[in-house]
Structure 1
Amino acid sequence: MSPSNNEHESVRSRQYLPSEERRDETARAVVDLAGEQNPNGISTKAIAEKMGVTQGALFRHFPNKEAIFAGVIQWVARRLMKRIDSAIRGIDSPTAKLEAMFHAHVGFVTDHPGVPRMVFGELQHHGDRLPKRMVRELVGRYTDKVAGLLRDGQQAGEVDATVDVEAAASLFIGTIQGLVMQSLIAGDPVLVRERASGAFAIYRRGIEP
């Protein structure tokens, strides 16, 4: 049985999506694949097949695989920070903001288990390729945001004035990374969310006056 005209039109429309929509769709496809396998083993053929397009359609928007992965990190950074900003909006207490930020991050990696695999994979790459630099930039921005909330907490009397802000910001991120690593070892992405409240409670006790 031959494909109908409508099916042909659907295929053609998939091949010629607008650039921004194609980049977002590509990022989602790579993140989904990273949740199923080692990100370093993801081929452009597998990405195209996941999206239901040809490799030619994929390369109309990305010059090479490295550019695809850079686009994925950009997608991750944009959506993670947007989710965090939304979670803390309207909250006055700095430590309450930290808690909301913690849970928003946990929710993000639970919804997209391929993301931590992508991040860890990029940091393990030799050399100074663009996606790796973008991961470092994201971690830097994230650390600065946590450190800013910790300083606000010190000024508000919610965080001990003697707390090393930079160390506490690193520990905040490390706590989430530890939960993620445990979930990867267990093969259970939901484990991060189940243990998040208890982990943050311990963290909070460590920074309180």
Structure 2
Amino acid sequence: MNAATVSLRQPAQARQAEMVQAVLNLAAQQEPASITTTDIAKAVGLSQGAVFRHFPNKQAIWLNVAQWLEATLMPLVQTAAQSSPDPLTSLGNIFRAHLQFVQENPGVPRFIFHELQQPAASPVKQQVAAMLQTYSGILIRVLQQAKTAGQVSPSLDERSAATLFIGSIQGLVMQAMLLGSSTSIQPMMAGVWALYLSAIRQEVAP
């Protein structure tokens, strides 16, 4: 690849990144389904025709958003998962890192919920589902480490515990959406985390 090609490609990549952020910013303020390419063009200061020079259609923009989400969130989760020799400390760090990410990117939950609710298995929905599967796998590994260390119930079902972990975050996010502010997550975090720890440490009655 010569220098001229790189020079031409970098502005296009920068524009695509701007449009991804525009979608997420718009999603924080309105339903993702109502976002149009005209809205995106206006947000980044381009004509609608210029938007389609960077992406062939709206679906391609949405797929790029999903790819950005995976490329940004998953490294945060992976880093938090390896942040401590103590598995439950690492699990808590994942919990806090994810919620911090949501607070910084309030359009992300709306985007995810919107895509997962779609009846068709579109490339965007498949991308989001694959990311959640990867996320669940990371959680399961940390929970297995916690079980080996004797920190959680020996009868714990790690897959169910991973589902509960993600569900706890989704519950906090939904509460924040109802209250209209992602900052409302902060006061609720400690209580929800304490309940989660209690659930995975306790022996399940037969």
The gaps in structure 1 that reach 5 residues or longer are 1-15
| Selected match of 2:29 from 25, 36, 54 | 36
Indicate the residue corresponding to 1:82 in structure 2.
Answer: 75
TM, length-normalised to structure 1: 0.88
Matched, 1:69 2:29: no
Identical pairs, percent: 38
Matching residue of 1:11: none
Q: Which residue is equivalent to 1:27?
A: 20
The one-letter code of the counterpart of 1:45 is T
Within the candidate set 41, 52, 75, 1:59 is matched to 52
Determine the C-alpha separation between the residues in 1 that align with 2:133 and 2:12: 28
Q: CA RMSD in A?
A: 1.7
| d(CA) in 2 for partners of 1:179, 1:72 | 23
Question: 2:6 matched to which residue of 1?
Answer: none
- Say how many residue pairs are matched: 195
The offset of 1:88, in angstroms, is 4.1
Measure the CA separation in 2 of the matches of 1:151 and 1:103: 20
Q: Tell me if 1:181 matches 2:180.
A: no
User: Match of 1:102?
Assistant: 95
How far off its partner does 1:17 sit? 5.5
Deviations 1:65-85, CA, capped at 9 Å, x for gaps? 011001101111111112223
The partner residue of 1:134 within 112, 120, 127 is 127
Shift, 1:89, TM fit: 4.1
Q: TM-score, with normalisation over the residues of structure 2?
A: 0.89
1:191 paired to 2:184: yes
